[in-house]
Structure 1
Amino acid sequence: MTLEFAPFIPWIVIAALAVLAVVLSALGFLRGVRGTAIRLAASIAVLAALANPLLLQEERDPLTTVVPVIVDRSQSQQIAGRAEETDQALQGIRDRLGRFPNIEPRIVEVTDPGDSDAPSTKLFEALAAATTDVPPARVGGAIFVTDGQVHDIPAENQALPFDAPVHSLITGKADEFDRRIEVLRAPRFGIVDEEQELTFRVFDDGEASNQPADVSVRMNGEDLGTVPAVPGAETSFAFRVPRGGNNVLEFSVAATPGEVTDVNNRAIHLIEGIRQNLRVLLVSGEPHAGERAWRNLLKSDASVDLVHFTILRPPEKQDGTPINELSLIAFPTRELFVEKINDFDLIIFDRYQHRGVLPILYYDYIAEYVRNGGALLIAAGPEHAGQDSIALTPLESVLPATPTGDVHQAGFYPRLSEQGKRHPVTRGLDGSAVEPPQWGRWFRSVDVGRTDGETVMTGDGDRPLLVLNRANEGRVAMLLSDQGWLWARGFEGGGPHVSLYRRIAHWLMKEPELEEEALKARATGRTLEVTRQTIGDAPGPATITTPSGETIALNLNEIQPGLYRGESRMTETGLFTITNGDFSTLVHVGAVDAPEFRAMISTTDTLAPISQETRGLTARLDDGDETVRIPDILPVRGEVRVADDRRMLIKLTDETVLKGVNTLPLFAGFAGLGILLLAVSAMWWREGR
């Protein structure tokens, strides 16, 4: 109870009246005036009534003690029965805390954030969020249910936002073992076909092992062999980047009997392949209008080193001009087609005919170059139908079309064949979606009798115009007209000659984006996008295998002829395998080195120092007999000074909440009136004597 005043008049007036009463009383006492004491008492009673004293009594209720219970639901908690232990522990904690009406549990379940590319377990961040709106004095303690793999443990100089015990209940077993692999150092970029080196390490968490581990290595799904590695020691691996663009290098170590999970037995490294300048050999049979279109296209590409020869002076031309007066460069046939032929990524014969410049044997060399993985483009003109056609040389063995000897002369619109509408080289060319195509006409094509591979463009009367084919390891393309330059000149509106020529060249040089049959996948955040290219029938759904081993069927919808796509949001993070028919690809969702997958064994080492510092308890839920044992709750009042190794201590709060205030005016009502009447009556009685 407390005493307060609510004066009816200002305090300064009451003070003045009090001073006046004291002065008059002092004079009365000095002069011996009778009744001065009674007058002073009456004055005090009147002044007290004017001050209006109040007696206050507060009504308060005790506040509950808040206990945050932070439950780890991260991916490492989904293995080896830990999820079941967590559920049992959570129910047991609820039951035990429910026995105490003055304890308020706050359950917070921490899952892998769906928008995070690098998932990690952040329990202390969740603890801080759960106690933000609670005064520190009301927090009686915190309970963690986790496997111990926590990635935001405060540093030694960082204090918790409250002074109460922190308890940790650890799922999993004490003797767990796990083998994992990590890529330590690796380049992010690499020159195609140049040797690169990276370093990886195999870790044995739990039981130490010095037995070598066999690590299988795959690049873009292709086996590169097996590398022996000693656990705990760094191992180097040399490799070559096979192609431009994104390349997935995968390392996998065989699962060890008894390990908790094989999710982290695979590690990947993404390396961007960079092509050095492509070397292209362009051989023109004679100057013509279309020659410049090829030359300009290739010269405009900074990534292409072009070697161009035009045969202006055939060997049979003998006019007596001295050699030292000729300004023409001799055609270095042996150097180009014998000594350095394998240095070229692409050979183009543009309206070239066999006129004795190349010995017959050299055509055999070119055919062998193609079969061994080289690329050849024939841009055919009328010469290809004549008696000097290169189709009548040993080069015929790799050509997909044989000329009949006729040249068709008539205006026509180049059109995409049914295969061409689905083939990545010609699919979606500007102007091809309408009939007739929105591009200019051509007026000449070479007739052929048979075709192998895919005819992706046709001319007048469905005659083959562009034929693509594979020859063993190499590729060959035949453009059976020399009229493409009309598009370059803008005749009748022109046409997509740059896109067409560039796609042909890149397909010949095996760019992954232009493969007829391909399965690709990419991740944007947590969204996995799968793309399937095919020139055949609908490929059906793709199968996604998650890092945890779950399989998901993903429907692929046709977005363009021959191009199917589907996407799905993933809840897990890690290396996903996507399959469709005979095709398979890998994609990593989230950061490659996500903390959540570095270590997966259950451990008490991470949280034990926090519990020890706050006088809390760190205990395993499974003590070895396959049963979940949950420690009892012991509420205590006052500061927790000593930890209990069997029970979880909860510090009860002394905080209260104000419900109301009872007010009793001391000079109100009959009591106050009686006191004043008594004072006045005493004065009157004394004055009457």
Structure 2
Amino acid sequence: MNWSLAFEPLLSWPLMAALAVPMALLALAALYFRQRGALLRVAAFAALALALLNPVLLDEERDPLQSVVAIVVDRSQSQDIGARAATTDQTVEELKARLGRFSQFDVRVVEAGRVSETDDRTQTRLFSALESVFRDVPPSRIGGAVMVTDGQVHDVPAAFDGLPGPLHALITGEDDERDRRVRFVNAPRFGIVDKPLSMSYRVIGTGEEGQPIDVRVSINGEQVALERAIVGSEMPLEITVPGAGRNIVELSVERAEGEITDANNRAIAIVDGIRENLRVLLVSGEPHAGERTWRNLLKSDAAVDLVHFTILRPPEKQDGTPINDLSLIAFPTRELFVEKINDFDLIIFDRYQHRDVLPILYYDYIAEYVERGGALLIAAGPEYAGEQSISRTPLMSALPALPTGTVIEEAFYPRLTETGARHPVTRGLEGSGQEPPNWSRWFRLVGISRPLGDVVMKGPREEPLLLLNRNGEGRVGMFLSDQGWLWARGFEGGGPHVSLYRRIAHWLMKEPELEEERLTAAGRGMTLEVSRQTMSDEAGPARVITPSGATMDLPLVAGRPGLFSGSATVEEIGLYQVANGDLTALAHVGPVNAPEFAETVSTPDVLRPAAEATGGGVRRLAGFGGRLAMPGIVPVRASGEASGRDWIGLRTTRDSVLKSVNRVPLFAGFFGLALLLFAFCAMWYREGR
């Protein structure tokens, strides 16, 4: 029970002052002049003042409040090393059991450090978690906090003084741990395909400074070099970027004897390969309505260097005009098709026919260029079915189809074949999802027989319209109509000529995104996403190997024709290997070279300044013989010591909650009235004598 005295005036304070001041002056004057009964007059006035102030004796019934104690549990991936996770679980259970014996503590447990699906930060942020626990707790009720961690915490404040109670840290792990790690020092984000790229790295090892060590260098899962490095020194590295798009450069070192983990024995750098400008040779056999369609498209692509020739004056044209009077550029056939043919990534013959402009031997050079990895596109018109067709030259060996000699002249809608609906060049082509397709008609098609490769578009009577074929190491495409310019001119609403022509050109130049059979994997936050392009009806599941070596099957679900995908939320940060059929891919999930693995050796030094600033302490949990060295828990006052050799203190609060109040008025009823009457009667009696 808590007794206290309070005043509940019967009048307002201004009115009380107006009455009390004159009475006090009269009483003081009587004392000063030593009038008879002055002391009784003062007593009477005091009794009247007390009656007006109405003193009340309060009896409060209160319940004490509990101090809030936080247990912050480190669940970061480094806590999975060795027996740290088991030690952490055992410690947390023991802490809860011991704190549960004290009724004055309200224990709150919060876990931090585990990477979530929406948060790919790999820093161990225990102080952020601690702040969230005490967000709704007044400072006077904070009893303190206990962190169970390996000591590698990344959000320790520079000057920690924001905790009214003591902070204690219990450190998992052993005192003599060893670790070896490798990390990139300089890793450019971009590189030019097939060009050298300079990088640098450093190997760090506990007690290994200055020693030589082998470092394996792999790009996209294939080892490309074995480097000799000096531990502790920055080492140069030069690689060649193998292809456009994402390339994963991996450094790895062997696990050292007694090393606690090899999770950081690999370092990853993601380099986006950028192609230098692609060189395209466009040869137009003669001026025609669609001649500039290919030219305008290729010139609009900043990644393409275009060389374009149009045959305006074939050799058989003889009109007597002197050569010196002609303002035409001679076609540099030897320079283009002999000396520099291998400098081109793509050769396009646009309605070209053999008219002795190219020597017959040069067609054999072009066929050999394709066989060795070059790209050739034939945009055919009626001349392809004629007597001067290039199919009657040595180029025949590279062509995917020979003409029948017929030219179909009728209106038709270009349509995708069943193969074309799956092929990445034509899959999802705008306007192809309805019947008839939402694009304009064409009016001419060259007939062919026995096509090779994939027929991805068809014309009237199911005749092939667009062929894509592999020839040796190279690729050949054949467009069997010269009517594509109708789409470019907007005839009947036009059509998707830009996307179609660009996809054809980039497929011929081996753009990875347009490969028919392709497996890709990527990490988004802590989600592994796998995509599979295939010409088959089914893709089957993908086999995934996690950074720790565990395997799992990831089902791939069909989306659009020829495209399958799947995703899974994972818990491990690192490099994942994905396989499906004969294809493999790599994906890094989580931040590259995450801070969580930069330092994995447990340490009490990181948290010691913050703990000591609050009166707490830091101690290891590993005891003699592998036993758990748990400290005792002692409730302490706010001003008392909070840490000892084998114990930790947590502050108790003096806050309480009011349940009820009993009021006892001191000047109420007959007692107050009798006291006042007695005082005034005594005063009158004394003054009347």
8 Å contact from structure 2 (residues 214, 226) kept in 1 = no
Of 18, 23, 44, the match for 1:18:
23
Unaligned runs of 5+ in 1: none
- Residue aligning to 2:276: 276
C-alpha deviations, 1:626-676, integer Å up to 9, x for none? Answer: 333312223334534584232223344444555555543322234334434
- Residue aligning to 1:234: 234
- Taking the aligned partners of 1:352 and 1:45, their CA distance within structure 2 comes to 125
1:488 Cα deviation from its structure 2 partner: 2.9
- Taking the aligned partners of 1:217 and 1:549, their CA distance within structure 2 comes to 18
- Residue aligning to 2:215: 214
Q: 1:135 to 1:416 in 2, by over 3 A?
A: closer
The within-5 A match list for 1:132-211 is: 132-155=135-158, 158-205=159-206, 210-211=211-212
8 Å contact from structure 1 (residues 542, 555) kept in 2 = yes
- Taking the aligned partners of 1:193 and 1:151, their CA distance within structure 2 comes to 39
1:336 Cα deviation from its structure 2 partner: 0.8
1:108 Cα deviation from its structure 2 partner: 1.6
SS in 2 for 1:481: coil
Q: 1:457 to 1:338 in 2, by over 3 A?
A: same
1:508 Cα deviation from its structure 2 partner: 0.7
1:163 Cα deviation from its structure 2 partner: 4.7
The within-5 A match list for 1:74-473 is: 74-112=76-114, 114=116, 115-155=118-158, 158-205=159-206, 210-219=211-220, 221-256=221-256, 258-317=258-317, 321-473=321-473
- Taking the aligned partners of 1:76 and 1:207, their CA distance within structure 2 comes to 22
- Taking the aligned partners of 1:391 and 1:256, their CA distance within structure 2 comes to 65
8 Å contact from structure 1 (residues 252, 265) kept in 2 = yes
SS in 1 for 2:306: strand
Q: 1:223 to 1:688 in 2, by over 3 A?
A: closer
- Taking the aligned partners of 1:135 and 1:46, their CA distance within structure 2 comes to 44
1:15 partner letter: A
SS in 2 for 1:356: coil
Q: 1:688 to 1:323 in 2, by over 3 A?
A: closer
- Taking the aligned partners of 1:161 and 1:36, their CA distance within structure 2 comes to 61
- Taking the aligned partners of 2:207 and 2:647, their CA distance within structure 1 comes to 28
- Residue aligning to 1:576: 576
Unaligned runs of 5+ in 2: none
8 Å contact from structure 2 (residues 204, 231) kept in 1 = yes
Of 61, 64, 67, the match for 1:65:
67
SS in 2 for 1:442: coil
The aligned length equals 683
- Taking the aligned partners of 2:639 and 2:280, their CA distance within structure 1 comes to 82
SS in 1 for 2:450: strand
- Taking the aligned partners of 1:178 and 1:235, their CA distance within structure 2 comes to 19
8 Å contact from structure 1 (residues 216, 227) kept in 2 = yes
Q: Does 1:536 align with 2:536?
A: yes
Q: 1:415 to 1:138 in 2, by over 3 A?
A: closer
- Residue aligning to 1:610: 610
The within-5 A match list for 1:637-648 is: 637=637, 639-641=639-641, 643-648=643-648
8 Å contact from structure 2 (residues 193, 274) kept in 1 = yes
The range that moved more, 567-576 or 449-458, is: 567-576
8 Å contact from structure 1 (residues 215, 251) kept in 2 = yes
- Taking the aligned partners of 1:675 and 1:596, their CA distance within structure 2 comes to 79
SS in 2 for 1:368: helix
Q: 1:173 to 1:452 in 2, by over 3 A?
A: farther
C-alpha deviations, 1:601-637, integer Å up to 9, x for none? Answer: 3222322333344443322222363333312223334
1:11 Cα deviation from its structure 2 partner: 1.8
C-alpha deviations, 1:517-536, integer Å up to 9, x for none? Answer: 11223444444433221111
Q: 1:226 to 1:371 in 2, by over 3 A?
A: farther
C-alpha deviations, 1:199-225, integer Å up to 9, x for none? Answer: 122232576582413323113x44433
Q: 1:16 to 1:463 in 2, by over 3 A?
A: closer
Q: 1:13 to 1:439 in 2, by over 3 A?
A: closer
C-alpha deviations, 1:256-313, integer Å up to 9, x for none? Answer: 4543333333332223333333211011222222322222222233332211112233
- Residue aligning to 2:54: 52
- Taking the aligned partners of 1:640 and 1:389, their CA distance within structure 2 comes to 102
1:88 Cα deviation from its structure 2 partner: 0.4
SS in 2 for 1:197: strand
The range that moved more, 511-520 or 491-500, is: 491-500
C-alpha deviations, 1:160-213, integer Å up to 9, x for none? Answer: 213543221112223333333222212222233332211122232576582413
1:91 Cα deviation from its structure 2 partner: 0.5
Q: 1:367 to 1:22 in 2, by over 3 A?
A: same
Q: 1:110 to 1:319 in 2, by over 3 A?
A: same
Matched-pair identity in %? 57
Q: 1:503 to 1:669 in 2, by over 3 A?
A: same
1:484 Cα deviation from its structure 2 partner: 2.4
8 Å contact from structure 2 (residues 545, 578) kept in 1 = yes
1:618 partner letter: V
1:681 Cα deviation from its structure 2 partner: 5.8
Q: 1:2 to 1:465 in 2, by over 3 A?
A: closer
TM score, norm. by length of structure 2: 0.90
C-alpha deviations, 1:105-124, integer Å up to 9, x for none? Answer: 22221143533233211111
